[in-house]
Amino acid sequence: MLSAAEIVGALEHQTKEERLTVVPWPERDELLRKGETSIDLRLGRWFRSFKQTRTPSVSLVGRIPRDSDEPSETSRTKQHFVPFGSNYVLHPGRFVLGVTLEWLRLPASLSGYVTGKSSLGRHGLVIETAAGIHPQFSGCLTLELANVGEVPLEIYPGMPICQIFLHRTQAGEEREPDRFSGRRKPMLSPPKADETFMRLVDSRPDGA
């Protein structure tokens, strides 16, 4: 895990390809003063909620092994823009996709993972259930926000929402662009097709 000094060094690296980019820039003096091993990220202004009544069920495999009218993203979800100074109310038992205010670019030598802030978790706000960030990722991070508490929660664009921890990664070959790279708004992407799963489905003895 990178120390505060190593994080600042990555942010200020002279070589663009090896530089960690975070826009807006984090407060580097504050990071060094506190000696923290993570960078706080803030909540952005775009959200995507789910239309419960219009979605009977959703398949979680990349290719559905039966005839099905899979609802589109626009029919299943609704996009919201919340300006600074306003809030989004997340009710108990509800789930919404959010996005970080910061745009990130990780070099090939770094990977990371995102965790929620304990001060928010104690109120029932669960953040980022798919936490890994691969080397060479670029874009805003999509956040999976859920209220597992008992009361509605007001969340505000610009508030600290999560933190990213960084690790050194042995640089290898260039990776193909991540399907989530380059995003600035939360997006509901379908799961990737899994060849092993499909072979298991196709091997059913009844052939159904």
Bridge partners (DSSP) listed for residue 79: 48
Yes or no: say if 107 and 20 are a contact pair by the CB < 8 Å rule.
yes
- The residue annotated as part of the active site, out of 144, 173, 174, 195, is 144
**Residue 115 contacts by C-beta under 8 Å, 6 or more apart in sequence?**
38, 127, 128, 131, 162, 163, 165
Higher pLDDT, 154 or 171: 154
Bridge partners (DSSP) listed for residue 145: 96, 127
Is residue 144 part of the annotated active site? The answer reads: yes
For 21-71, what is each residue's pLDDT tens digit?
999 988 888 889 888 899 999 999 999 998 876 667 777 776 555 545 555
Rounded to whole angstroms, the Cα distance separating 13 from 171 reads: 16
Kindly tell me if the per-residue pLDDT of 74 is higher than 60. Answer: yes
Higher pLDDT, 64 or 164: 164
Quick one: average pLDDT of 182-191? 72
Quick one: average pLDDT of 148-172? 93
Rounded to whole angstroms, the Cα distance separating 80 from 109 reads: 35
Give the single-character DSSP code of 179. Answer: T
Please tell me whether the overall predicted TM-score, pTM, comes out greater than 0.85 for this model: no
Residue ranges of domains in the chain, CATH in brackets: 4-55+72-172+180-202 (2.70.40.10)
* C-beta atoms surrounding 82 within 10 Å: 18
Bridge partners (DSSP) listed for residue 143: 98
Provide the 3-class DSSP secondary structure of residue 130: coil
Kindly tell me if the per-residue pLDDT of 114 is higher than 80. Answer: yes
| Percent of the chain residues topping a pLDDT of 90 | 57
Most confident of 27-31, 56-60, 183-187, 197-201: 27-31
Q: Which long-range contacts (CB under 8 A, 24 or more apart) does 124-127 make?
A: 124/92, 124/148, 124/149, 124/150, 124/151, 124/153, 125/90, 125/149, 125/153, 125/155, 127/161, 127/162
